[in-house]
Amino acid sequence: MNEGQEEFLDFFIARTLKNKRDEAEQVLIQAFSEQEHKKFTTANLTDLQNTLLPLVKPENYAEVEAAMNHFANSL
């Protein structure tokens, strides 16, 4: 995992529902692994958002969604 991925993982986990943190961490680590082995597409990101955003604390949803959309614009 590279430094940017570690930073995003920390950012995301801090904004995830407490009882969903392990699940979110596993999903993100898997996505980072896939990203290292092949090009990450907007379709991959959409799938990831659909999986991860429901795990976010309601008060942090907009912030996390904005961060993921910012990443999508760099793909």
- The count of residues in the chain is 75
Overall domain count for the chain:
1
According to the model, what pLDDT value does residue 57 have? 98
Q: For 34-67, how does the pLDDT look when each residue is reduced to its tens digit (9 = 90+)?
A: 888 877 787 888 899 999 999 999 999 999 999 9
- In sequence order, the 6+-apart residues with CB closer than 8 A to the CB of 61 are 53
Q: Rounded CA gap, 47 and 41, in Å?
A: 10
Domain of residue 45, residue span? 3-73
Tokens of 37: 């082995």
pLDDT of residue 75 exceeding 70:
no
Q: What is the mean pLDDT of the chain?
A: 91
Q: For 19-37, how does the pLDDT look when each residue is reduced to its tens digit (9 = 90+)?
A: 999 999 999 999 988 888 8
